[in-house]
Amino acid sequence: MMQGMYPNGFLNPDDRKCSVQSLLFGHRIKPQQTRYEYLVEFLQVAMARKRITNSGDDSIKTDMFPVSDALADHQLEYKPISNMGLKRFIFFENSRLDTKSQIDKKAYNKCLEIMKECIEIENTQISEKDSIFILQNILYGFSIENAGRSWFNKNLLPICPEVLFPESLARKKYREKVDIDSEEVDSSFDFNSYTYMARGGEVYYLHILHAINSAEQEAKERLEHQIKRMLSSIPQLSEISKFIQTEWETGMNYDASDIRDYDVKKRIGAIPLEYSYRDSHSLSEIMCFLDNRIQPMEKLNLLSYGIVLQLFRMHITTAAKGSSTQGSAWVIDVCEPIKKEHAEIRKLASNCYNKNEESVTKYIDIGIDYYYCDSTPEEKDKMRKDADKDSNKIIRKLGKNMGMIIPITGTGMRFTLSEEIIKFLVMALVPPSSKVTYDHFLDMLYDHFEIVISPEHYAKAAEEGKVGPQTNVTFLQENKNDFAQKLKNCGFLRDLSDATAIVENPYEKEED
Whole-number pLDDT of residue 113: 94
Residue 339, pLDDT above cutoff 90 = no
Q: In whole angstroms, give the CA distance from residue 467 to residue 328.
A: 7
- What pLDDT, in 10s, does the model give residues 79-120? 999 999 999 999 999 888 777 889 999 999 999 999 998 888
Indicate the pLDDT class of residue 323, thresholds 50, 70 and 90. very high
pLDDT at 322: 94
Q: What is the mean pLDDT of residues 425-444?
A: 98
C-alpha 461/C-alpha 448 separation (Å) is 13
Given this model, what pLDDT does residue 379 score? Answer: 94
Which carries the bigger pLDDT value, residue 342 or residue 125?
Answer: 342
Q: State residue 341's pLDDT score.
A: 65
Question: What is the chain's mean pLDDT, rounded?
Answer: 91
In sequence order, the 6+-apart residues with CB closer than 8 A to the CB of 379 are: 372
pLDDT at 81: 92
Q: Does the pLDDT at position 432 exceed 80?
A: yes
Give the pLDDT mean for 116-134: 82
Of all residues in the chain, the percent with pLDDT exceeding 90 is 70
State the pLDDT at residue 236. Answer: 95
Chain mean position to CA 74 = 24
Residue 500 confidence class, pLDDT cut points 50, 70, 90: confident
Predicted confidence band at 11 (pLDDT cuts at 50, 70, 90)?
Answer: low
Q: What's the whole-number mean pLDDT along residues 41-68?
A: 89
The answer, yes or no, to whether residue 8 has pLDDT greater than 60, is: yes
Looking at residue 17, its pLDDT comes to 66
pLDDT the model gives residue 293: 97
Q: Which helix (H) or strand (E) holds 105?
A: helix 102-118
Mean pLDDT of 145-152: 83
pLDDT band, residue 127 (cuts 50/70/90): confident
Distances from the Cα of 375 to the Cα of 17, 323, 369, 382, angstroms: 13, 21, 9, 11
What amino acid occupies position 209? L
The pLDDT of residue 219 is 96
Give dist(CA 494, CA 157) in Å, integer. Answer: 34
CA 428 to chain CA mean position, Å? 16
What confidence tens digit (pLDDT) does each residue in 178-227 have?
A: 999 888 899 889 998 888 888 999 999 999 999 999 999 999 999 999 99
State which of 23-32, 190-199, 428-437 shows the largest mean pLDDT: 428-437
pLDDT grade for 129, boundaries at 50, 70 and 90:
confident
- Does residue 12 carry a pLDDT above 80? no
Q: Output 75 or 163, whichever has higher pLDDT.
A: 163
* DSSP class per residue in 41-86: HHHHHHHSEEEETTSS--PPB-SSS---GGGGTS-EEEE----HHH
pTM of the model: 0.94
CA distance 453 to 206: 31
CB of 208 within 8 A of CB of 268? no
Q: pLDDT class for 364, splitting at 50, 70, 90? A: very high
Higher pLDDT, 64 or 126: 64
